[in-house]
Amino acid sequence: MVETATKPAATTAEDTPKVTRSGEINGQSQGEIDGFQLIIDALKLNGIDTIFGLPGIPITDLTRKLQRAGLRVISFRHEQNAGYAASIAGFMTQKPGVCLTVSAPGFLNGLTALANATTNCFPMILISGSSEREIVDLQQGDYEEMDQVAIARPHAKAAFRVLHAEDIGVGMARAIRAALSGRPGGVYLDLPAKLFPQTIDAELGRKSLIKVVDPAPRQIPAPDAVQRALELLKSAKRPLIILGKGAAYAQADADIRALVEKTGIPYVPMSMAKGLLPDTHEQSAAAARSYVLPEADVVLLIGARLNWLLSHGKGKTWGGKSPKDWGDRKFVQIDISPQEADSNVPIDAPVVGDIGSCVSAMLGAIGSNWPKPPAEWLNAIAERKIKNVAKMTEALANNPTPMNFHSALNVVRDIVKANPDAILVNEGANALDFTRSIVDMYKPRKRLDVGTWGVMGIGMGFSVAAAVVSGEQVIAVEGDSAFGFSGMEVETLCRYNLPVCIVILNNNGVYRGDEVNTTGGRDPSPLVFVKGARYEKLMEAFGGVGVLATTPAELRSAMQEAMRSRKPTLINAVIDEKAGTESGRITSLNPTAKKK
């Protein structure tokens, strides 16, 4: 520590130390430490070993110095992708993912990912270089001038600016705590250019750094809240558990599984909670979702908000007569945020605390003779499951030409089954919905997707981070439109030689590819792309493997080869351009559909 702290840090772009006769190196006395080094030391001290970003003024040297200091610097082609990478690294590791960008435009490019991280409760820190505060506040027109803190604040859980080298330690500590504690989220840390070469006494600098102790403290639920929840669950005739991505994030996998199995309550996983228990688990009611939601009388939510993805807990999805109908159902909600309960419908038994502590408290209180849910309920679910699984099996057995979503995803389903440690990244509309329902997941945190906003563009950023953080094989199932949002990062995949196999379900457009411009004008419909596009050549351009697959057999052998070789691979899986519906399964959210 002292050794690194006293190590002279160079500030020129070339980084060749210039030693003066008075013994100063680059104008910095040997007993001093500069902002660059303090930032690096603060990150290292807190166990942050990977930075996702894109260099340029004023952070170019910082990226070099970070690399030289032994951190992994993953450099992207667009900051948005670096930001998404950081956010999902945070979700996977419970350490804040760090994204480093230049000022104004770089910052703004990263901001979408920061806002998405906050929305999804992913811990992330966006660090951007910025112009001097004196110039920004007087609006004097600096290079890439922008009041970044003010712009970041509404999109982040917290936003901080550090003006003095001696405050770097506090700034970093506050950012880490804000990102990780309570409900995780995105944090913005503003570092003005002038801060980097600022020097202070090395000993003072060393003392100014903070190793954050217990950044995500356990929050133990109140015993009476746990009792209230258990009594309600025990009284249920048709209980149901819904697992959300908060449950996946919490890494309380064994206790969550024990709670589900000891109570015998059927469960439904939200998209990114798939695999928390294997999708093939006999208590999974995913294949009977549209039956269990309206029928359940007591629902236990574990790390899942009653937002649009759960139809706000009311209306027809939940058996209500009108969209506003709350119904008679009771809800138990485990969440770390004390403000989450009652956000849409009354929560009869809120249990506030971290999921690990809440689930273990419940487990401790239920003992070993918890009554199994009534057989009538379990049998009714089993019956629906059998019917729906049979329907799915039939759909998967078809082998139409060209391929459709089912025949292509049947292959992906088999490959994921054979490679349960592989991480599945997924985006698109139909490409998302069909993959979610067709491809079973077997382990926790293996499915990463568009999340709470249903945002397109996470694909390559998530893939890079998943491969870098876990070292596992990644399979990215992408709609052709979805892929386009981050497609240039195939170069990044090749540069870092990451084991990512991209499968583009290519139907020539947004949702589908057969729409025509009915005005008779010369432009194509806004929803279609160049027909027969050869996406696989993009990967070949950078030395990766590109494959055109027009049949399930071709897709299968290409995916098998990708798993074997672990080379960056892009498979252009050509499917019927008439396959797919507008907006996939959320067609009803289109304003025009609502009016009808």
Q: Could you list the residues that contact ligand ADP (CB under 6 A)?
A: 120-121, 183-184, 244-246, 249-250, 270, 272-273, 303-305, 307, 309, 335-337, 340, 354-355, 452
Applying CB under 6 A, does 580 fall inside the site for ligand TPW?
Answer: yes
Nearer to ligand ADP, 206 or 305 (CB): 305
Nearer to ligand TPW, 236 or 455 (CB): 455
DSSP three-state, residue 57: coil
Residue 288, CA atoms < 13 Å, CB-side half-sphere: 23
For residues 326 to 355, the per-residue mask of contacts with ligand TPW, x marking binding by CB under 6 A and - elsewhere, is ------------------------------
Applying CB under 6 A, does 221 fall inside the site for ligand TPW?
Answer: no
Nearer to ligand TPW, 103 or 271 (CB): 271
Tokens 């019927």, residue located: 576
CA nearest 584: which of 462, 432, 427? 432
The token pair that represents 273 in the structure block: 């909670």
Q: Which of 124, 270, 422, 431 binds ligand TPW (CB under 6 A)?
A: 431
Applying CB under 6 A, does 84 fall inside the site for ligand TPW?
Answer: no
Residue 404 contact, options ligand ADP, ligand TPW, none, Cβ 5-8 Å cut-off depending on partner type? none
CA dist., res. 81 & res. 112, Å (int): 10
Phi, psi of 87 (to 5 degrees): -65, -40
Please report how close the Cβ of residue 526 comes to ligand ADP at its closest, in angstroms: 29
Element of type H or E holding 53:
strand 50-53
Nearer to ligand ADP, 306 or 547 (CB): 306
Residue 428 contact, options ligand ADP, ligand TPW, none, Cβ 5-8 Å cut-off depending on partner type? ligand TPW
Stretch touching ligand TPW by CB under 6 A, among 18-26, 89-97, 389-397, 503-511: 503-511
- How many residues touch ligand TPW under the rule CB under 6 A: the total is 18
The token pair that represents 441 in the structure block: 């997941």
Residue 479 contact, options ligand TPW, ligand ADP, none, Cβ 5-8 Å cut-off depending on partner type? ligand TPW
CA nearest 251: which of 303, 286, 290? 303
Please report how close the Cβ of residue 305 comes to ligand ADP at its closest, in angstroms: 3
Nearer to ligand TPW, 178 or 431 (CB): 431
Residue closest to ligand ADP (Cβ): 246
Applying CB under 6 A, does 430 fall inside the site for ligand TPW?
Answer: yes
Q: Which of 230, 359, 361, 429 binds ligand TPW (CB under 6 A)?
A: 429
Please report how close the Cβ of residue 555 comes to ligand TPW at its closest, in angstroms: 15
On whether the CB atoms of residues 358 and 222 are closer than 8 A, the answer is: no
Nearer to ligand TPW, 455 or 490 (CB): 455
Stretch touching ligand TPW by CB under 6 A, among 88-96, 346-354, 423-431, 487-495: 423-431
CA dist., res. 183 & res. 355, Å (int): 11
Applying CB under 6 A, does 507 fall inside the site for ligand TPW?
Answer: yes
Nearer to ligand TPW, 81 or 181 (CB): 81
Q: CA Rg, the chain, in Å?
A: 26
Residue 499 contact, options ligand ADP, ligand TPW, none, Cβ 5-8 Å cut-off depending on partner type? none
Q: Which of 92, 225, 510, 555 binds ligand TPW (CB under 6 A)?
A: 510
Residue 457 contact, options ligand ADP, ligand TPW, none, Cβ 5-8 Å cut-off depending on partner type? ligand TPW
52 pairs with which residues across the strands? 74, 99
DSSP codes joined into one string, 399-418: --SSB-HHHHHHHHHHHHHH
Please report how close the Cβ of residue 180 comes to ligand ADP at its closest, in angstroms: 10
For residues 446 to 485, the per-residue mask of contacts with ligand TPW, x marking binding by CB under 6 A and - elsewhere, is --------xxxx---------------------xxxx---
Nearer to ligand TPW, 236 or 429 (CB): 429
On whether the CB atoms of residues 219 and 205 are closer than 8 A, the answer is: no
- Spell out where 113-185 has E strands: 124-130, 158-161
Residue closest to ligand TPW (Cβ): 479
CA nearest 98: which of 111, 109, 87? 87
Residue 429 contact, options ligand ADP, ligand TPW, none, Cβ 5-8 Å cut-off depending on partner type? ligand TPW
Helix axes 79-93, 104-120, angle to 10 degrees: 30
* Burial of 164 (C-beta count, 10 Å sphere; 0-12/13-18/19+): middle
Cα 81 to Cα 109, 294, 412, 538, 593: the distances in Å are 9, 38, 24, 17, 32
Nearer to ligand TPW, 351 or 411 (CB): 411
Q: What is the 3-state secondary structure (H, E, C) of 188-254?
A: EEEEEHHHCCCEEEHHHHHHHCCCCCCCCCCCCCCHHHHHHHHHHHHCCCCEEEEECHHHHHCCCHH
CA dist., res. 474 & res. 415, Å (int): 12
CA dist., res. 96 & res. 505, Å (int): 32
Where does this chain bind ligand TPW (CB under 6 A)?
428-431, 454-457, 479-482, 505, 507, 510-511, 580, 584
